[in-house]
A and B are shown apart, each in its own frame.
Chain A
């Protein structure tokens, strides 16, 4: 018998698992795949909290501002590699080099320093996939008109075979390499030779002054060896977010998993829930699709964190939408779409309606459907991460709350 079973291993599920395990609960987490954090930039957005806590039925409004803040504080206390302050806006670079606002960010991504820079050196790793130095340079020049932007191409022996083949090197492969023992050595070499060049430039009377290095394909968060190399440098290094699959998102996933595991939590990846057993208003067992046969796991409480439509927690067909684990009723707007592509898309608000304890409710009868099940993250109805920019905040707040109360 487990104290809690969490179905879904994304940001919300993992944070719930970490908090519950930290409280001494025996937690099993079941995840279909590696979760959407590997697609994410690793940046955590909160949106306009003051406004959203007043928005009818929004998860922030159900939980209240103090819980939203608790989730954020809890995350930050456990992951000091993240930078940010409650209700303070940070700046990061998009994969194309334009600045954007953000909530909590991996330390290395902080682009604030670019405001005071005079020279931006844009590192251009040879053949890096989904990195466009010319576009990035143009965007940096547009955003920071006081700066001269210089592109600094470099090439590594480790990827010679890739270059010979004419095959692009995935940004994640660059990140993995920098983190290995030989990669850290190579990184020292790359930044040292850059430093020498900058030294020469500094003695030049035409020197533009303060330099900042922008470095795609590098993720220093959760890597002491990379942080050490960077801390010795006389210039700041700003990392970039990346297109999926993204190293920063992936490293956040790894760090969450590691914390959960270190607290005694067990994560099962690559399998899903086939069936649940319910008695009255309580779920007591889930049946998992293992190879060969099904495995049964009993628990006192359950958390549904299966990631909405894009996480596979909700299946949408032209006829209907369906919640895939418990078969819970969904809030579905009358009109699903809006002709304005980047505008408010009503389907984004599809989800399960919950009470203040995050238990699923039948909103017509105003009755709790399952008393020992909590719904978190993207599965909750009535919010839109793309328009409201609150995806990270909802996941942290609801995840922390479930971990705290399950």
Chain B
């Protein structure tokens, strides 16, 4: 957005407070004044050079609920993110302790953590399971000892196979969660795409940059985006779609990457797809294999905030409902609270749990009434948090499709 559009967008705010009434953080945390106040209201002061306390801005969890709520199309989260960056550039000292700054540096680097964790996953997981280690992590880094840190798996590297030159191609952007914590889901995505006649290319991508941005490392986030774009560019130029099964990576590819000053940026928005958005498109063109076997399962579905923000609806629910025997209950019970690394921080862990509480209560109620037995959602963070908060197993929807196609992962 140029400066004039920014001011115009700011003026579109009619001060109705609908965003604050929906903000998951403001509801549970009185010290966060809410998106209207720290966003468009405070922006008027910022335009005059008056900056507000950056510590307060950092309580925005970047879930973008305010943006999709706003009846006037004000880019509230974008205003807040920009303000955080401005505060950082201005060298404004927030009240955050040194410890938190180190912690934000670590949590922003999901990729480095992943590389470290997947060297010897069993050891990492074993260590992370030791209460003393978690206690030390809380004291030294401020990472909550109760937070549901995901376990590490063998690193996802895609599948090596000989390609059929006749096949169509897609590029898969796995994202850090699949790469380091859930390689099996990555393999499942590849299997399903191959089953539909695609060769799946997996370049050695870096973290999409969302965790960096959320932890106030804006320059580094853009650097990651530039590196990923240079890896994608040859494929983008060849018209090959980029697919991700992570909704936050997907939102970054569609919303942030087009603004990066690098070649390929002009194509990435057009050519990136959420996995199920892509499969649905195949269905609409009559190109999806729909020889589904019956899968007798009832699932609760949680829409990740960053899928809502993509403005493509819930294509996974549409697709799963096409499979005979599958029943999907779309809960629509609000944010899970985790928001990437937000809920891992010890000062925010309780907040994150309170934010997710209506969802957890809803899940537990439905399970106790026998409406469904397990949950499904695309976002890895949401999966971990829902399992942690409700005790109900939560997996990526690709697994239902795997069953319907009769596919399995060969170890």
B68 contacts across to A, CB distance below 8 A: 33, 269-271
Indicate whether A366 reaches chain B with its CB closer than 8 angstroms. no
Chain A facing B: main interface SS? mixed
Q: How many Å from the CB of B397 to the closest CB on chain A?
A: 15
Partner pick for B361 among A1, A180, A245, CB 8 A cutoff: A180
A165 and B31 contact, CB distance less than 8 A: yes
A376 to B284, CA, bound (A): 29
Indicate whether B58 reaches chain A with its CB closer than 8 angstroms. no
Indicate whether A318 reaches chain B with its CB closer than 8 angstroms. no
Indicate whether B310 reaches chain A with its CB closer than 8 angstroms. yes
Partner pick for A34 among B69, B268, B277, B330, CB 8 A cutoff: B69
Binds A, one of B98-106, B201-209, B216-224, B251-259: B251-259
A241 to B359, CA, bound (A): 26
Q: Scoring B residues 343 to 373 as 1 if CB is less than 8 Å from chain A, else 0, what string do you get? A: 0000000000000011001000000000000
B21 contacts across to A, CB distance below 8 A: 38, 170, 172, 245, 250
B358 and A268 contact, CB distance less than 8 A: no
* Closest partner residue, chain B, to A271 (CB atom): B311
Known: A261-B332, A291-B310, A293-B269. 18 other contacts (CB 8 A): A33-B70, A36-B71, A38-B18, A38-B22, A179-B358, A244-B18, A245-B16, A245-B17, A245-B18, A261-B330, A268-B311, A268-B313, A270-B308, A289-B311, A291-B309, A292-B272, A293-B254, A311-B71
Indicate whether B170 reaches chain A with its CB closer than 8 angstroms. no
Which size bracket describes the interface of B in this complex?
35 or more
In order of increasing CB-CB distance, the 10 nearest A-B pairs are A270-B68, A292-B254, A271-B311, A292-B269, A33-B71, A245-B21, A291-B254, A290-B311, A268-B313, A162-B30
A236 contacts across to B, CB distance below 8 A: none
Binds A, one of B179-187, B228-236, B314-322, B403-411: B314-322
Indicate whether B27 reaches chain A with its CB closer than 8 angstroms. yes
Q: Which residues of A in the span 312-366 have a Cβ within 8 Å of any Cβ on B? A: 312
A34 and B311 contact, CB distance less than 8 A: no
A291 and B251 contact, CB distance less than 8 A: yes
Q: Scoring B residues 116 to 144 as 1 if CB is less than 8 Å from chain A, else 0, what string do you get? A: 00000000000000000000000000000
* Closest partner residue, chain A, to B65 (CB atom): A270
Q: How many Å from the CB of B277 to the closest CB on chain A?
A: 8
Indicate whether B227 reaches chain A with its CB closer than 8 angstroms. no
Q: Which residues of B in the span 238-296 have a Cβ within 8 Å of any Cβ on A? A: 251, 253-255, 258, 268-272, 277, 284
B357 and A266 contact, CB distance less than 8 A: no
Q: Which residues of B in the span 299-332 have a Cβ within 8 Å of any Cβ on A? A: 308-314, 317-318, 321, 329-330, 332
Q: Scoring A residues 284 to 298 as 1 if CB is less than 8 Å from chain B, else 0, what string do you get? A: 000011111101000
Indicate whether B73 reaches chain A with its CB closer than 8 angstroms. yes
A258 and B332 contact, CB distance less than 8 A: yes
Indicate whether A23 reaches chain B with its CB closer than 8 angstroms. no
* Closest partner residue, chain A, to B270 (CB atom): A293
